[in-house]
């Protein structure tokens, strides 16, 4: 079962570390699709775990993707990101 981005709403070191590890698994284009599929509240979870430069690059990617993004692609990217969160969440809890 996949975790939800809402599971990481609280900014704790474990939550933030898990999100950061999952972010490393996706390139800017994939993460752009994910971000387009998230609410503003959920986007904040991602943004707080990125550098200012990384966020700016992602924001630019989102602007270009917004014009061509199709729902199926956004859904696939979001599912992959949630799989990465699930994987890293389990490994964090095993420590």
Q: Where are the domains of the chain?
A: 11-90
> Per-residue pLDDT tens for 41-82?
999 999 999 999 999 999 999 988 877 767 777 888 889 999
Ordered DSSP codes for 52-95: HHHHHHHHHHHHHHHTT--HHHHHHHHHHHHHHHHHHHHHHHH-
pLDDT at 40 over 90: yes
11-90 topology per CATH: Annexin V; domain 1 (1.10.220)
d(CA 31, CA 19): 12
- % of residues, the chain, pLDDT over 70: 96
43-48's contacts with Cβ under 8 Å and 24+ in sequence apart are: 45/5, 45/8, 45/9, 45/19, 46/5, 46/19, 48/11, 48/16
pLDDT band at 8 (very low <50, low <70, confident <90, very high): very high
């Amino acid at each position: 079962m996949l975790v939800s981005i809402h599971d990481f709403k609280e900014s704790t070191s474990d939550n933030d570390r898990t999100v950061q590890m999952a972010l490393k698994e996706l390139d800017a284009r994939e993460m752009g699709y994910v971000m387009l599929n998230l609410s503003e509240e959920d986007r904040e979870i991602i943004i707080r775990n990125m550098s200012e430069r990384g966020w700016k690059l992602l924001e630019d990617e989102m602007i270009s993707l917004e014009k061509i993004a199709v729902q199926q692609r956004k859904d696939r990217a979001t599912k992959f990101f949630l799989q990465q969160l699930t994987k890293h969440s389990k490994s964090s809890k095993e420590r």
